[in-house]
């Protein structure tokens, strides 16, 4: 199986795809990104790296950062986190407030906005916001083994100015006692996490620990236990694409986490870490071409976790 040829073929097919989705227009810094952009990167367990398209172009990873924030929060407080955040698919839009009232301010999972805001509140414990943001940046740089990963200040500022729904979610959870720090401080941390900027190659490198039973192959050091890596992957499979998670599992069959910047991180346990990026989104806020590209990749490699030959 020639992965370099496969990713090159997929990139060529995506260049010709007529339905490219629409970039997230409610975040001004993302609205003007060219929907013709497409990148894909695969990093294998043995270190092989296969790139095509705009795989070296940096983009705002947005909600993909929730995977790394969850990893840090579990390291900080362990299973106590699950007293404040659930582990079930939401079945609603990523920024919905509907379930919070009936479920007493406990978000369904850490990958919807409300859940990630609680995770940010956990990570703020004992830190100033700037310190919590710096800790996340250091963590992601260490995972990828790259020091030029940055937080896009313009994107963070735009989100702070336009994130009214997130403010509503945070205030609502604060009213239920599920936020322990002032809303503006928590949201400052959350918005800066979302504004992490990475390339497909860097993102695939950062995700390697999830395909390697919690070990960072770049350093040989443990990031999380094998059990915790498995559980993070399980949450990515069931909740990583908001109310489109079932469709993504049906079409792709891999643990994955999307972001409204157009990126998707997907994991083939034991085999590969994959990142795709194309800024046009479908109706559920997930990358239109990114999803299609991963579907075609799985068809050609047999990498779905539901394929008996995937291991």
| Enzyme catalytic residues | 63, 66, 190, 242, 260
Calpha distance 84→270 (Å, rounded): 31
Q: Is 166 annotated for ligand binding?
A: yes
Q: Is 286 annotated for ligand binding?
A: no
Q: Is 172 annotated for ligand binding?
A: no
Q: Is 159 annotated for ligand binding?
A: yes
Calpha distance 58→203 (Å, rounded): 10
Q: CB of 236 within 8 A of CB of 255? A: yes
Calpha distance 85→81 (Å, rounded): 6
Give φ, ψ of 44 to 5 degrees: -85, 165
Nearest in space to 39 (alpha carbons), one of 56, 16, 22, 55:
55
Whose structure tokens read 């909600």?
63
Which uninterrupted H or E stretch holds 49?
strand 49-53
Q: Is 113 annotated for ligand binding?
A: yes
Nearest in space to 190 (alpha carbons), one of 70, 59, 23, 33:
70
Binding site as annotated, residues for substrate? 63, 113, 159, 166, 190, 242, 260
Binding site as annotated, residues? 63, 113, 159, 166, 190, 242, 260
């Amino acid at each position: 199986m020639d992965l370099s040829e496969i990713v090159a073929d997929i990139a060529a097919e995506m260049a010709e795809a007529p339905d490219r989705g629409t970039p997230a227009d409610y975040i001004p810094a993302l609205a003007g990104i060219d929907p013709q952009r497409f990148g894909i990167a695969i990093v294998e367990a043995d270190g092989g790296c296969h790139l095509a398209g705009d795989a070296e172009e940096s983009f705002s990873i947005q909600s993909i950062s929730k995977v790394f924030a969850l990893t840090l929060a579990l390291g900080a407080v362990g299973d106590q986190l699950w007293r404040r955040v659930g582990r079930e698919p939401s079945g609603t839009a990523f920024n919905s407030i509907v379930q919070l009232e009936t479920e007493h301010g406990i978000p369904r999972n850490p990958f919807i906005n409300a859940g990630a805001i609680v995770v940010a509140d956990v990570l703020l414990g004992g830190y100033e916001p700037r310190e919590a943001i710096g800790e996340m940046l250091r963590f992601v740089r260490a995972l990828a083994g790259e020091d030029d990963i940055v937080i896009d200040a313009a994107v963070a500022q735009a989100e702070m100015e336009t994130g009214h729904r997130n403010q509503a979610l945070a205030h609502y959870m604060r009213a239920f006692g599920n936020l322990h720090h002032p809303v503006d401080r928590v949201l400052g941390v959350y918005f800066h996490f979302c504004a992490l900027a990475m390339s497909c190659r860097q993102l695939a490198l950062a995700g390697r620990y999830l395909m390697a039973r919690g070990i960072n192959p770049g350093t040989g050091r443990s990031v999380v236990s094998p059990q915790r890596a498995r559980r993070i992957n399980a949450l990515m499979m069931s909740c990583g694409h908001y109310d489109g998670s079932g469709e993504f599992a049906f079409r792709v069959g891999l643990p994955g986490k999307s972001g409204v910047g157009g990126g998707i991180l997907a994991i083939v346990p034991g085999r590969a870490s994959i990142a795709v990026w194309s800024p046009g989104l479908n109706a559920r806020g997930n990358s239109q071409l990114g999803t299609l590209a991963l579907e075609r990749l799985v068809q050609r490699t047999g990498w779905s976790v539901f394929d008996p030959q995937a291991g």
